[in-house]
Amino acid sequence: MAQFRVCPDSGFYFDKSAESLMKANAVAGAVSLLIAGILGLGVILTRWQGVHLLPADTFYQVLTGHGINALIFWIIFFEMAILYFASSTLLRTRIAAPRWAWAGFALMIIGMVMNNIAVLQGNSSVMMTSYAPMQAAPHFYLGLILFAVGALIGCFVFLGTLVIARDDRTYEGSIPLVTFGALTACIIAIFTIACGAIILVPTFLWSIGYIGHIDAAMYRVIWWGLGHSSQQINVAAHVSVWYLIIGVLFNARPMSEKVSRSAFLLYILFLQLASAHHILVDPGISSEWKVFNTSYAMYLAVLASMIHGLTIPGSMEVAQRAKGYTKGMFEWLRKAPWDNPVFSGFFFALIIFGFIGGITGVVMGTEQINIIIHNTIYVPAHFHATVAVGTTLTFMALTYLLIPVLFRRALFLPWMAKWQPYVFSAGMTLMILFQLGAGTLGVSRRHWDMDFTGAMLSFEYPGTAYTLMAVAGVGGVLGVLGGAMYLIVTVGSLLFGKKLDESAGLFQGFGVPLAPSSYNVSQPERLPMAPKLAVEEHGSGGFEAPGTFALAMALLVCFVVYYFINWDYLASVWPLS
Amino acid sequence: MSSFLPPSERVWWNTPIGKQEIVWIGVALVWCLIMFLMMPYWHIYGKQNLSNEAYQTTPARFQAKVDEMVTQHKVGDISGIPVVKPPAGSDVYMLGRLWQWYPIIELEKGQSYRLHLSSMDWNHGFSLQPVNINLQIVPGYEMVLTVTPDQAGEFTVVCNEFCGIGHHLMLGKIFVKEN
């Protein structure tokens, strides 16, 4: 029989098995982030030409490990925790097939360890993308495959949990928006993992000699169905978390359920086309295909993100105004809890994701503009804005919410937690902006030596490029410091944070449930529908969230200006046809 | 808290939408369509477009074409790498291999050339600096595009796709001379 506890602070119900799974996945994610962060420090200190820390072979090895741990392991482990939370906890239901979920978790751990060992052994420095015909050791691919199978099991456990909740009628009406968003992430994840299987299984067989040849162009097209779409899981997941955070902090309701849910549907329908972003300057792919796919079919997925960009802060503004923060355009924002890392983390993630990550992504994903950007350091700068700040900082903010609620511990060093989003955002933004600049000057990504020492021919980048990369280096170090602060607070809280409930012992923070007496609810109350508003403000004359609308228009202006600046820059390069 | 409660209307897709959201969706959609149309527009009126011309090839076949061009049009060498000056308007072949772009090419400013690019082994990145033209070079595929250098000077081809331990040593040269 399922056993639940109710969190006295938040009112969330936790199923005993689901809770342990969430903890285990979140902790595994944090371990991956630790590895990724340490390796990231090596990368940024080597790209900073004045420091040039690591030798070439170690640099390429470290860069491979950094990419895989940060972009795949950290994020997907954490997303598994989010899927279990959004299904079991939010719908107040027992989790489906917890043994399968643990089996999936075990596969993910085995896969992660196996892949990291392959990289550590030194003969798999092939970068995260591992473009065939460059070959890694067989267990490099096998590790990724096992990890993906484990994640796929997690997705089906999530879907099964939704079915159980529906059958047991644990909620009234439709599933909540946050769960809807998590469902979006799950559907995209299944597509992504299918692409991964289609390309990685043959590549694994090729690496052990069963298949003679992998076509290099085909590999790129299908691999990016995994590589880019997996970043779209993150978008769907972190947007859902943003809705969750504004609900928890501000009691905010979406401005319109219809608009927000339709935007998630647009993600499902169009985000997968983004494989095209990586092959815009590849041979053998037609312009028509590139134009249609790179634009997600006329930018309908970009439209979805622009909609969330308005509705999330807009919903927060409406809730704040209802509380009386109505002065001027921005009192609702000034009076937000800036000391609370859950809020500051969420809000910085939103702004940096939209203003930097979103705009640069669309610009470089334009078919012709990609000619001046492909494989320059502009590319990592873009995805650090989207994933390393957008997704990662959102998950950090969510962690601060979950430490008391899920782990039942008080935050360790709360002053450090308070400053963490500021330090992390400042460092990462500095790094991103200056790398964007260096990329515009043509500085290559995944490159050990800007000086080309020892090459048969010689080349020098302009002096400005060196300065930009040095400032980016300072920003990167600050970003790693911010990441370290997160891990100190998180691990410190699990080990030394004040216990809020009776503990079951030393390993309670890492997957073991709380003391048995905490689980005293056998059947949670059915989740009610949101109360109807006394005054229906939708459809009335005025704008409900004028401050947000002003921010959205500012975003649009930056977007338009920057977009055409890049066309202008493109027009200055040699004519090509 | 209703972002994590079921919506207050059972039929959520039938609820009215606020004016602010409608205006924003309209504005954003128009912008999306403009961005979409910019790409076909540039294919018609812009000067920087990649061709759709590409062929499947093999390293041996492509190498033979490069060698033929080098024999016919070699004008010198730099660090042991031949410098080739193909006639204006002709087909120019350049290959990427671990870890070199081969051969060195000399072009005339304002003339158009059909540039053929391929790789002998792994993926390489053709990054022409300081012009900043970046192309993906994939083994087994021959990419063809027409280039018209409009500046004279010395240009460097940096490899910007990771290709193993000598990646950062992989450079090539294109010289453009005034005519």
Mean residue pLDDT across chain A: 93
Q: Is residue A131 part of a domain?
A: yes
CB-CB contact of B140 with B56 (8 Å): yes
Residue A182, in any domain of the structure: no
Shortest Cα distance from A250 to chain B (angstroms)? 7
Q: Write the CB contacts of A236 (distance below 8 Å, at least 6 apart in sequence).
A: A181, A182, A184, A185, A188, A264, A267, A271
What is residue A176's three-state secondary structure? coil
What CATH number does the domain containing B93 carry? Answer: 2.60.40.420
Mean pLDDT for A91-102 is 96
Mean pLDDT of A329-343: 96
Residue A536's pLDDT band, with cuts at 50, 70 and 90, is very low
Distances (CA, A) of A477 to A70, A170, A304, A421: 16, 47, 34, 15
At A457, list the tokens: 């021919």
- A511 pLDDT above the threshold of 80: no
Residue A160 placed within a domain: yes
What integer pLDDT is reported at residue A541 of this predicted model?
Answer: 52
Q: Under a CB-based contact definition with an 8 Å cutoff, are residues A47 and A439 in contact?
A: no
Q: Is residue A534 part of a domain?
A: no
Q: Does B24 contact chain A (CB < 8 Å)? A: yes
Number of A to B CB contacts under 8 A, please give it. 342
Look at residue A26 and tell me if it is in a domain: yes
Q: Does any CB of chain A come closer than 8 Å to the CB of residue B170?
A: yes
Q: Does B9 reside within a domain?
A: no
Residue count of chain B: 179
Residue B10 lies in a domain: no
CA pair distance A2, A524, nearest whole angstrom? 10
Unique residue bearing structure tokens 């943003």: A242
Q: Does B66 reside within a domain? A: yes
| Contact criterion met (CB < 8 Å) for B46 and A458 | no
Q: Which of A244, A251, A375 to mutate to test the interface with B (most CBs of B within 10 A)?
A: A375
Domains contained in chain A, number: 1
Q: Is residue A223 part of a domain?
A: no
Give the gap in angstroms from C-alpha B69 to the nearest C-alpha of chain A.
21
Instruction: Find the domain containing B132 and state its range.
Output: 54-177
d(CA A102, CA A21) in angstroms, rounded, equals 7
3-class secondary structure, A527: strand
Specify the DSSP class assigned to residue A499.
B
Taking each helix axis from N to C end, the angle separating A392-405 and A229-250, rounded to the nearest 10 degrees, works out to: 50
More confident residue, B12 or B91: B91
Question: For chain B, how many structural domains are there in total?
Answer: 1
Residues 6+ apart with CB under 8 A from A186: A83, A155, A158, A159
The interface predicted TM-score of the complex, written ipTM, equals: 0.96
Mean pLDDT of A113-125: 96
Residue B119 lies in a domain: yes
Nearest to B9 by CA among A369, A305, A365, A529: A529
Q: Please report whether residue A46 resides in a domain.
A: yes
Least confident span in A250-254, A561-565, B41-45: A250-254
Inform me whether the pLDDT recorded for A15 exceeds 90.
Answer: yes
Position A388 scores a pLDDT of 95
**A54 in a structural domain:** yes
From the list B35, B49, B143, the residue facing A368 with the nearest CB is: B49
A123-157 pLDDT tens trace: 999 999 999 999 999 999 999 999 999 999 999 99
Residue A27 belongs to what domain range? 8-175
Tokens standing for B60? 């041996």
* CA atoms lying within 13 Å on the CB side of residue A185: 32
> How many whole angstroms separate alpha carbon B72 and alpha carbon A132?
34
* This prediction's pTM: 0.96
In this prediction, residue A538 carries a pLDDT of 45
Beta-carbon neighbour count of residue A526 at 10 Å? 11
- Structure-token pair, residue B159: 């490899």
Continuous segment of H or E residues that includes residue A164: helix A138-167
Q: Has residue B113 been placed in a domain? A: yes
Nearest-10 Cα torsion for A175, A181, A182, A185: 140
Buried b (16+ CB within 10 A) or exposed e, A229-267: bbbbbbbbbbbbbbbbbbbbbbebbbbbbbbbbebbebb
